[in-house]
Structure 1
Amino acid sequence: MHPQVYPTEAVPLQGVNYGGFPGQPGVVQQTAVNINTDVPVIIEYPQDHIIWSLLCFVYSNPFCLGLAALIYSIKARDRKVVGDVDGARHYGSTARSLNIVATIIAAIGFFIFIIIISVITTQTASYYNYRY
């Protein structure tokens, strides 16, 4: 979310009454601040993929790749907090690669499991339906 950009304008901050009694005219000092918002500053931080790493760790952790991805995601988040953008980018990239490999291995394992269950079910049904 980017803050809304306003053009340059003078904003009076405070009016102070010097001299005289309350309610009577006196000297009023005003302070104005010029706000220049012509060029918004956008800092792009690298992603740490922490949610994806948590899901890979909890639901599909083949060969402990989900745990390794979670560790690298936490390191990327720590580097981002410290301000080391290059270190955060490196750790985030490694976490992303580990998450991709873990997701692919888990998906292939899931599909192999479905195929094995369907073959076993078909063979079992075929065995019991065979009449001697």
Structure 2
Amino acid sequence: MDNHSYNFPSDCTPLTNCKSGRKPGSTVINMHGSGGKKPPRDYLIWSLCNTLYVNFCCLGFMALIYSIKVRFVQNGALAQESSDKAKWYNILAAGWNMLIPLLLLVILVLLLIHLGTTQGSFDFFGEDGFQNFLKLFSWQTERD
């Protein structure tokens, strides 16, 4: 396009005010959003923590899948449903993640209490109890 073929009106040139009655137009961009509503929470950090820690029955992994799905779904109702599922999978995973170590701790305490009350080679808290216990795992045999 050559410069001589296009002429601006003399009263309205670019980057200046128009002297005629015309007003410069405005640009409107319509965004396809949720109409001012906040997007549903995705619980992504919570899901990552549950996935990396114990992750019993893959509950944390399921929560992570739904958390990622919330970010990529365009439908508001489906995003809210995925957010709710991610929240409940996270609650279940967090419950199991706290329950399993507590059960192991209780079993360890009960085992130590039981071993402390028995007599003989398993008596940890008595005289020479720990030494007798270690003898069970030694490979050396006593010579006559």
Q: Which residue of 2 aligns with 1:4?
A: none
Shift of 1:105: 1.4
Which protein has the bigger strand share? 1
Which protein has the bigger helix share? 1
- TM-score of the pair, normalised by structure 1: 0.61
Q: Distance in 2 between matches of 1:72 and 1:17?
A: 54
Q: Which residue of 2 aligns with 1:53?
A: 47
Tell me which amino acid in the other structure corresponds to 1:90: E
Q: Give the length in aligned residue pairs.
A: 100
* Greater length-normalized contact order (CA 8 Å, ≥ 6 residues apart): 1
Shift of 1:121: 2.4
Shift of 1:123: 2.8
Kindly name which structure, 1 or 2, has the bigger radius of gyration based on alpha carbons. 2
Against the structure 1 CA distance between its residues 51 and 17, is the aligned structure 2 distance closer, same or farther, given a 3 Å change threshold?
closer
CA RMSD of aligned residues (A): 3.2
The answer as to whether partners of 1:61 and 1:67 remain within 8 angstroms in 2 is: yes
Q: Which residue of 1 aligns with 2:103?
A: 112
- State the secondary structure of the residue aligned to 1:47: coil
Structure 1 portions without partners, runs of 5+: 1-14, 19-30, 32-40
Q: Distance in 1 between matches of 2:17 and 2:81?
A: 58
Q: Which residue of 2 aligns with 1:93?
A: 84
Against the structure 1 CA distance between its residues 73 and 16, is the aligned structure 2 distance closer, same or farther, given a 3 Å change threshold?
same
Q: Which residue of 1 aligns with 2:65?
A: 71
Instruction: Give the % identical residues.
Output: 28
- TM-score of the pair, normalised by structure 2: 0.56
Q: Which residue of 1 aligns with 2:124?
A: 128
What does the per-residue CA deviation read over 1:85-117, in whole Å, with 9 as the maximum and x for residues that have no partner?
111100010011111111111211111111111
Tell me which amino acid in the other structure corresponds to 2:62: A
The answer as to whether partners of 1:60 and 1:103 remain within 8 angstroms in 2 is: no
